[in-house]
Amino acid sequence: MADDRATRSFSQDRQKFVSILSGELMEIPEKSKLGKCRSVIEFEKLNRVGEGTYGIVYCARDTKSNKIVALKKMRMEKEKDGLPISGLREIDILLNIRHENIVEMKEVVVGKSLDSIFLVMEYCEQDLASLLDNMAAPFSESQVKCIMLQLCKGLRYLHENFIIHRDLKVSNLLMTDKGCVKIADFGLARKYGIPTKPMSPKVVTLWYRAPELLFGSKTHTTAIDIWSAGCIFGELLAHKPLLPGRSELHQIELTIQMFGTPNETIWPDFPQLPALEQFTLKQQPYNNIRHTFPWLSEPGIRLLNFLFMYDPLKRASAEDIIESSYFTEPPHPCEPEFMPSFPQHRLKRRQAEENPKEEVKPKLNDSFKDFGSSSSESATKKRKQSL
């Protein structure tokens, strides 16, 4: 009983602010509770489409404009005082960037309680992970070039504006039904300055993590995004993950197996990396890129090697990739509007995960009145389990 009273009291206090003048809790006027934000009740939920690093994503209809949008519900489970810093960073970054190859955030809306926050994003019909999981045949090389050019144009814009994404992977690349590729999920993104400040090396999904992070470097540069872009490039070409490590140690082993053993000659800062004190590396003097992609042209092999340079200072930039001769030789990149479109795959995979034994149609009349109490999925994605 006492616990119930404490819970009710805590819930009521969450609807109050502390007065600057008196230091006491004061009621928030009803008309001011949402500030300048709209209520999430103004959106009609259609279906759940994905889960990002720091939030669950839903497809919804804006009842005022009648437009389809994506609603990302921010995770607040462990927050007692305000928004999580990761959420604030994501909002700050997305509100201040605009590029055709980066998903656009339109506004922030709120639910009934102060810990129910949603980001309103433009809706994209599919993500590359779903396509790769469901396509009968791999993307053609012309289509891969189209995707990579769009990815690198978005990356170039981010890096020119001193932003590192820090979680590039195929599931964070969305595509509209007109073939426009957009970088999404900025939950781990950070702005950086010169000189760079130390950051945690525990970023980027394992399969796409650069070697400097695997070896414990706390210096983050735009080169970590370029390595991830290289892993995406290889995955699109091979129609399977390029370096699917099961642990950090296994990821290092796969990296060395593919690209050879790094040393001080090719990477001057390598001997000073913290993780090297914990184990001895297998010696392999050659890389296997040409063996892995025997059909790829010489410019394509050169580009892959440029993307996977061990030394971050020597690794390609987004601009270098865009200007590569690989994109000017046949087969030429296809135009975005000629990219394949399979929006049903995204919905099919989500339905199968949530209802494995029954056919489910998307709900078209479900409001967000009880949105905050949505239950978790019964099963997680196979891809996310591996990552």
pLDDT band at 21 (very low <50, low <70, confident <90, very high): low
Q: What is the pLDDT of residues 235-268, one digit of tens each?
A: 999 989 999 999 999 999 999 999 999 999 999 9
Question: Higher model confidence: residue 206 or residue 11?
Answer: 206
pLDDT value, residue 193 = 78
pLDDT value, residue 176 = 92
pLDDT above 50: residue 342: yes
Of 7-16, 36-45, 141-150, 201-210, the one with minimum mean pLDDT is 7-16
pLDDT value, residue 136 = 78
Domain with CATH 1.10.510.10 in the chain: 126-338
Look at the block and give the residue holding tokens 């779903």. 130
- Please provide the size of the chain in residues: 387
H or E element at residue 346: helix 343-354
Q: Measure the CA–CA gap between 202 and 217, rounded to whole angstroms.
A: 10
- Answer whether 284's CB lies under 8 Å from 259's CB: no
Residues designated as active site = 167
pLDDT value, residue 387 = 47
- Answer whether 324's CB lies under 8 Å from 299's CB: yes
**pLDDT, average across residues 180-189:** 92
pLDDT value, residue 35 = 60
- Dihedral sign of CA atoms 4, 8, 9, 14 in order: positive
pLDDT value, residue 213 = 94
- Answer whether 321's CB lies under 8 Å from 229's CB: yes
**pLDDT, average across residues 96-101:** 95
The DSSP bridge pattern shows strands 105-110 and 38-39 to be parallel
- Answer whether 145's CB lies under 8 Å from 332's CB: yes
Q: What is the pLDDT of residues 292-325, one digit of tens each?
A: 999 999 999 999 999 999 999 999 999 999 999 9
pLDDT value, residue 85 = 76
pLDDT above 50: residue 283: yes
pLDDT value, residue 3 = 47
- Answer whether 336's CB lies under 8 Å from 147's CB: no
pLDDT value, residue 138 = 84
Amino acid (one-letter) located at 147: I
Computed over every residue of the chain, the mean pLDDT equals 81
CA nearest neighbour of 37 among 108, 114, 122, 93? 108
Question: Higher model confidence: residue 347 or residue 281?
Answer: 281
pLDDT value, residue 375 = 29
φ and ψ of 194, to 5 deg: -125, 120
Cβ neighbours of 219 (radius 10 Å): 17
Q: Measure the CA–CA gap between 53 and 138, rounded to whole angstroms.
A: 27
- The model carries a pTM of 0.79
Q: Measure the CA–CA gap between 89 and 74, rounded to whole angstroms.
A: 12
Look at the block and give the residue holding tokens 């699109």. 236
∠ CA(106), CA(74), CA(185), 5° rounding? 65
pLDDT value, residue 54 = 58
pLDDT above 90: residue 230: yes
Instruction: Determine the topology of domain 126-338 in CATH.
Output: Transferase(Phosphotransferase); domain 1 (1.10.510)
Q: Measure the CA–CA gap between 365 and 325, rounded to whole angstroms.
A: 51
H or E element at residue 183: strand 181-183
Cβ neighbours of 134 (radius 10 Å): 14
Q: End-to-end CA distance of the chain, in Å?
A: 43
Q: Which CATH class is domain 34-123?
A: alpha beta
Tokens of 234: 């290889």
pLDDT above 90: residue 220: no
pLDDT above 50: residue 170: yes
Domain with CATH 3.30.200.20 in the chain: 34-123
pLDDT value, residue 383 = 53
Q: What percentage of residues in the chain have a pLDDT greater than 70?
A: 75
Q: Is 361 annotated as a binding residue?
A: no
